Amino acid sequence: MKKNIFSVSQVNAYIKKIFINDYVVNDIWIKGEVSNCKIHSSGHIYFTLKDHNSAISCVVFKNYRDFVDCDLVDGINITARGYVSVYERAGTYQLYVQQIKSDGIGELYKKFEKLKQDLEAEGYFLEKNKKNIPRYPRKVGIVTSDTGAAIRDMINVSRRRNPYISLLLYPSLVQGDGAASNIVKGIKHLDSLEDVDVIIIGRGGGSIEDLWAFNEKDVAKCIYEANTPIISAVGHETDFTIADFVADLRAPTPSAGAELAIPSFHETQDLLDKYDYKLNNILNRKIDYYRKSIELNKIKLDFNSPGIRAEKERQYISDLEDKLYRHMTDIINMHKNKLNIINEKINALSPVNNLEKGYSYVSTSSKQVRSIDDINIGQTVYVQLHDGKIETVVKDISNGKWGSYE
């Protein structure tokens, strides 16, 4: 007998038809706790509705968001109305939600908030207790699953940023039973190693149940008591765990945790080049400064040396000699000029000069004749000319001034 062979599409279409024909799942109310809620850029909302034993995928299309009477966030209890159908492309079934009513906060979310409040009251989240992440670590410890995407992402980031920094992985469960104790063992082991400079704990995204190991008090206490700085890199950017609040630094994703822990080799090299350039400039300026100081001190030393001082004194004495000589010369010339002026005055007043001009000097044997009253008729007088003397006897005396005789 020949068997019928169906394609995948035919099987999924057949199963979808079964759902469509079942009146129970065509209009159904389901209650549960919201988990792993994501709002797509298209406006559709995707989340998981769960209880203690099971879960179902849900989607709220954009045109039904007006019928949602609460903000959909992880941890709240809701009652959702819609229909169950098959998503043929993936071969999965899900609840297509058309209406939502809030039923309060879920038990797991309540537990999260209670532990967060208790630890905050005990000082676990205080900024002053957080340790600085080393800027240039030599070895980075990682606590995560050795098979998950998180470790691959962190290795890729590390190799890209700085292949010279060592990574030390402590393989650990990151969800389910025993995950919290595994994470604690990993932190304690890496914290006991002297050459591990920083520890990253983390995993990829998931629901609040998937991430719950990082919400356990034992993990929080171990992070708080560790001596090595710890980066928490759990889930996606919108996911927050207790480990994020206790850790010394929170990274939004595992890849971001590696970015924060591992410095870029090229950026570090550029920084070193910049410091090298700056240091060389400083050293060159210092060298120039001290070279000029040495040259200035040499000039000062030469200027104050005994030989230079003696030469300066000799120059000073020579200048004084020149100054004295010029001064004496000026004085001599001044007196010469004065003497010449006096000589000219003397010459101007000299009787001899007057005699040469045609004047004569008249005297008696006893005195100079200045007036007719000084002589008498018959008296002998002497007339001195410039080239000789005349002796004569006065015959006549007439009154009158020079030039008035007729």
pLDDT of the residue at 229: 96
Of residues 171 and 404, more confidence is placed in 171
Of 107-111, 166-170, 312-316, where does mean pLDDT reach its minimum? 107-111
* Nearest of 240, 249, 219, 218 to residue 113 by alpha carbon: 240
pLDDT of the residue at 104: 66
Compute the average pLDDT of residues 112-116.
Answer: 89
Per-residue pLDDT for 366 more than 90? no
pLDDT of the residue at 49: 92
pLDDT of the residue at 8: 92
pLDDT of the residue at 374: 81
CA angle, 387 as apex, 384 and 392 as ends, to 5°?
35
pLDDT of the residue at 299: 81
The H or E element containing residue 366 is: none
Compute the average pLDDT of residues 293-315.
Answer: 80
* Nearest of 55, 75, 77 to residue 211 by alpha carbon: 75
- State the angle between helix axes of 107-121 and 217-225 in degrees (0 to 180), rounded to the nearest 10: 30
State the average pLDDT for the chain: 88
pLDDT of the residue at 1: 58
Amino acid identity of residue 6, one-letter, is: F
pLDDT of the residue at 307: 74
| Residue 311: band (very low, low, confident or very high) from pLDDT cuts 50, 70, 90 | confident
pLDDT of the residue at 403: 55
pLDDT of the residue at 166: 95
| Residue 194: band (very low, low, confident or very high) from pLDDT cuts 50, 70, 90 | very high
| Residue 262: band (very low, low, confident or very high) from pLDDT cuts 50, 70, 90 | very high
Q: For strand 55-60 and strand 45-50, is the pairing parallel, antiparallel, or unpaired?
A: antiparallel
pLDDT tens digits for range 207-249? 777 889 999 999 999 999 999 999 999 988 777 899 999 999 9
Per-residue pLDDT for 29 more than 50? yes
Per-residue pLDDT for 151 more than 90? yes
Of 142-146, 289-293, 346-350, 370-374, where does mean pLDDT reach its minimum? 346-350
Of residues 370 and 275, more confidence is placed in 275
pLDDT tens digits for range 38-86? 888 898 999 999 887 889 999 999 999 888 877 788 888 888 999 999 9
Q: What are phi and psi of 237, to 5 degrees?
A: -60, -30
Per-residue pLDDT for 263 more than 50? yes
CA angle, 349 as apex, 345 and 355 as ends, to 5°?
140
* Nearest of 358, 362, 352, 356 to residue 389 by alpha carbon: 362
Q: What are phi and psi of 4, to 5 degrees?
A: -80, 135
Q: Are 222 and 214 in contact (CB under 8 A)?
A: no
Measured CA to CA, the distance from residue 223 to residue 131 in angstroms comes to 11
Would you say the C-alpha torsion 263, 266, 269, 273 has a positive or negative sign?
negative
* Nearest of 161, 249, 237 to residue 201 by alpha carbon: 249
Compute the average pLDDT of residues 134-144.
Answer: 95
Ordered DSSP codes for 4-57: P---HHHHHHHHHHHHHH-HHHHSEEEEEEEEEEEE-TTS-EEEEEE-SS-EEE
pLDDT of the residue at 146: 92
Of residues 351 and 337, more confidence is placed in 337
Of 141-150, 279-288, 335-344, 362-371, where does mean pLDDT reach its minimum? 362-371
Of residues 206 and 26, more confidence is placed in 26
pLDDT tens digits for range 376-400? 888 888 888 878 888 888 888 888 7
Q: Where are the alpha helices (DSSP H) in 232-264?
A: 242-246, 254-261
| Sheet strands side by side (includes 230-234) | 166-171, 139-144, 198-203, 230-234, 249-250
pLDDT of the residue at 405: 47
